[in-house]
Structure 1
Amino acid sequence: MITNIYTLSRKEGWQRWADAPARVRPELLAPKQITKLGEDARADYNDARHDWHANFGILKTPQLAAIHDELDQIVATNRQDPDRIRGAAVIDALPGLGKTTIANTFARDFDRAQRRRFGDLTEEGHERLPVFRVGLTSRTTLRTLNRMICEFYGHPGTDRANAAQLASFAVDCVISCQTRIGIIDDLHFIDPNRRDGIEVSNHLKWLANELPVTFIYAGVGLAERRLFAEGLTGDNAVMAQTARRWTRLELPPFHVGDQAGRRHWQSLLKATERQLVLTKAHPSMLVDLADYLFARTTGHIGSFITLITRGCYKAIRTGAEKLTERLLDTIRIDEASEAARYHLQAGFQAGKLTSYRNTG
């Protein structure tokens, strides 16, 4: 809906998201009840279900819980005085595994706790903003990074300042608003082999030195891109400060190679089933499709949620009101999942793979 358009890269959008109450799950109506609804009422009910299925909340997967625990430990122990360097966390994983979601939800919980404990205003009367968040782009430079931080806070001098002035404004905003966590998303856009990439990487170290915050970075394939080595090679790589300051948190996809992996996959399916509002859904609707759903999504939570969301939309629109293999076969998702689908399906059909728990 148009009223829900906002961005987490501005303080107003972040606060709106952080303060938003939990969504109310639409009532599950029986098929006969839906047929008795008028045309407008039925359209409104279906629209509410579409909105719910696209936003039914964060599934607390084992991966999310594990990284939240790690982040909590890192943030809680970063109590150093301003003259000492705080360690940073970096969530490094393949696309579609929920890096951004994990970082944002952890920071949202922290934001709520800080404002609940200390109030919405600082003692000096400034807005208390426990978290700032920015997302990098492929053209991020030192100046644009500073500008994005200032834009999050809504600093009035953002448009006419140079890089040094923007850096000073950013420091003032963080300190005045008593910010404690800074999220830098899409860190993989920094190329440590390019001049502007080295400048941004060095500037991140400067910000870590100057700001009393814990940085949480998220990106794709950061180790492979040698971001931790800052582009240095051979013996020079030991001179890289990043690898000593950042704690790398890996985020694996779901797998079905052992009992624990199969148990986690089944738990995800059961938790998702409980969220769906389809009139002809039945217990184990998704669990019965465990192999199929894994083959379709390769165990990537982002691909899985996309398939379920689009499947629910079509199930409601067509009147099927349940998810079946036949219906889901008509839904296309990301190309990476589609490319791996038939190889995985062959493994399941040959008995080399299974996502069902061994109860024997």
Structure 2
Amino acid sequence: MTSGDTAPFVLPGPSPARETLAGWQHWRLTRRSFVPAPAMDLAAWRLLSPKKKTLHDLHRAATHANLPLLTTPMSRSVERLLNGRIESNALKLKPATRAGVMVSGGGYQGKTESVCEVTAAFEDRWLALHQHLNPDAAPGCRDLHAPVAYVQTPVTAKPKSTCKAILNFYDTPVSARMDLPELIHQVAASLRDHGTKVLILDDITRLRMHRADDQDTLDLIRAFMSMHVTLVLIGVDIPGSGLLREGRHDAATGQWHLPASRHAKIHGLEATQTERRFDLVELDRFRYDTAPQIAAWLQHLCGVQAGLRLLDAPENMLTTGTMPEYLFQRTNGVVGLLERLIEDGCREAIATGLERLTEGLLEDLSIDLSHAPHRDPAAGEIPDVPTNRTARGTRRGRNTVFDDRGPAAAGAS
């Protein structure tokens, strides 16, 4: 690249709030619009004017702060199940209760982003199929078409506050005098009038099953499955949270069956008291014990490095030597922690002029999640972070699965 080839760069605006219809639509339409800084080597950068150097460095910082969402073997399994369930339910014509999906996993493992990406892609296809019009709109009405609704579970969830959180997504007026049956009826009307096919409830494991209000809230959530939407629940360690304690596992289908909701008839849509079925899928972290697991980790690191814009980064900077194991030890294979460490490392590499990532540079950086916004530590939304001050003599021995031991070793076997 020549010195005059810097790309025009506009600072990103504020992050859209996906908890509102306008914010969700803005995020969906712009989620792939960020243009990363062009790749440039150190010699070309030195030829830039001081102003262009500053702008290019700012663009590089923005690039490292907005690394693309990479597909992993774990996210592919979530995508297959979620896509199949959503599309199957959206095409159903009979008034049967739609099976839901629970996406479980640890904090910072990409559950929310993976689900949002899958559902946003579904919305893109659904809108194109119907020319961006609501096929179920009432005659004479032009309600906004919202195939997907994204809602965060309130930290102290109650049935009323959960209904209000859903109605806030649609910017539906809510009166303080509305009782719970009226709120549930309004939720059903909003889902129907906006043509919503998927209702996402994030951070569902903020519910504590020892609290009566939270038990009532979970019971209410099961009632939403009668509203002809695919209910997608996202949470940390759902099997261990108590949300499934009233359910039974069907080994033949792999689904969890939960009892019908006590709220099933309030909104007037439920014809019979039927069980609620959920597919449970785990979005796990990377592992580093077998050859396929190591290969998957290395492939992910290759994808990460392709998005970096350091001026003196060697080829395969993240995938050669002991770096792959070091990065695994620092992050425990959690993609969100890896992204945080790489982002902070790139900023330090630019600030110091090193322009490459090394174990020594990363060893001086700590991953601090103590002030993570919108995260509830009590619900397991912040994972344990491996320390970076481990004594070299106590580090785990290097995995030698891929080592080439040479012809002498081969002949001795």
Give the TM-score of the pair, scaled to structure 2.
0.79
Paired residue secondary structure (1:184)? strand
2:343 aligned with 1:309: yes
Tell me, yes or no, if the aligned pair for 1:295 and 1:345 is still in contact at 8 Å.
no
2:240 aligned with 1:224: yes
**TM-aligned CA deviation for residue 19 of structure 1:** 0.6
Q: 1:156 aligned to 136, 154, 173, which one?
A: 173
Of residues 68-77 and 19-28 in structure 1, the stretch that sits farther from structure 2 once superposed is 19-28
Distance in 2 between residues matched to 1:33 and 1:39, nearest whole Å: 13
Tell me, yes or no, if the aligned pair for 1:293 and 1:304 is still in contact at 8 Å.
yes
The aligned residue for residue 26 of structure 2 is 16
Tell me, yes or no, if the aligned pair for 1:23 and 1:56 is still in contact at 8 Å.
no
The aligned residue for residue 145 of structure 1 is 162
Higher-helix-fraction structure = 1
The aligned residue for residue 32 of structure 1 is 43
**TM-aligned CA deviation for residue 83 of structure 1:** 2.8
The aligned residue for residue 402 of structure 2 is 357
**TM-aligned CA deviation for residue 77 of structure 1:** 2.3
Q: 1:318 aligned to 352, 364, 371, which one?
A: 352
Structure-to-structure mapping, 1:96-115, within 5 angstroms: 96-115=108-127
Q: 1:199 aligned to 211, 216, 219, which one?
A: 216
Of residues 46-55 and 181-190 in structure 1, the stretch that sits farther from structure 2 once superposed is 46-55
Q: Deviations over 1:222-280 (max 9, x none)?
A: 21122112499xxxxx9942896111101221111111101100100111111111111
Look at both structures and tell me which one has the larger radius of gyration over its CA atoms. Answer: 2
Q: Deviations over 1:23-69 (max 9, x none)?
A: 21211222233233344332221121111111121111111111101
Structure-to-structure mapping, 1:90-101, within 5 angstroms: 90-101=102-113
Unaligned residue ranges in structure 2 (runs of 5+): 1-10, 249-255, 261-274, 370-383, 406-413
The aligned residue for residue 70 of structure 1 is 81
Distance in 1 between residues matched to 2:393 and 2:233, nearest whole Å: 35
Task: Supply the AA of the counterpart residue of 1:329.
Answer: E
The aligned residue for residue 256 of structure 1 is 288
Task: Supply the AA of the counterpart residue of 1:229.
Answer: R
The aligned residue for residue 3 of structure 1 is 13
CA 1:146 to 1:121, structure 2 compared with 1: closer, same or farther past 3 Å? Answer: same
CA 1:357 to 1:4, structure 2 compared with 1: closer, same or farther past 3 Å? Answer: farther
The aligned residue for residue 121 of structure 1 is 133
Distance in 2 between residues matched to 1:51 and 1:114, nearest whole Å: 32
Unaligned residue ranges in structure 1 (runs of 5+): 233-237
CA 1:164 to 1:340, structure 2 compared with 1: closer, same or farther past 3 Å? Answer: farther
Tell me, yes or no, if the aligned pair for 2:97 and 2:276 is still in contact at 8 Å.
no
Distance in 1 between residues matched to 2:178 and 2:57, nearest whole Å: 49
**TM-aligned CA deviation for residue 137 of structure 1:** 2.8
Distance in 1 between residues matched to 2:94 and 2:152, nearest whole Å: 26
The aligned residue for residue 272 of structure 2 is none
Distance in 2 between residues matched to 1:198 and 1:285, nearest whole Å: 50
CA 1:73 to 1:231, structure 2 compared with 1: closer, same or farther past 3 Å? Answer: closer
**TM-aligned CA deviation for residue 287 of structure 1:** 0.4
Distance in 2 between residues matched to 1:150 and 1:317, nearest whole Å: 46
The aligned residue for residue 331 of structure 2 is 297
Tell me, yes or no, if the aligned pair for 1:82 and 1:212 is still in contact at 8 Å.
no
Q: Percent identity?
A: 23
Distance in 2 between residues matched to 1:169 and 1:39, nearest whole Å: 58
**TM-aligned CA deviation for residue 82 of structure 1:** 5.3
Task: Supply the AA of the counterpart residue of 1:273.
Answer: Q
**TM-aligned CA deviation for residue 334 of structure 1:** 4.6
CA 1:330 to 1:152, structure 2 compared with 1: closer, same or farther past 3 Å? Answer: same
Of residues 70-79 and 330-339 in structure 1, the stretch that sits farther from structure 2 once superposed is 330-339
The aligned residue for residue 338 of structure 1 is 386
Give the superposed CA RMSD. Answer: 2.5
Q: 2:149 aligned to 105, 111, 132, which one?
A: 132
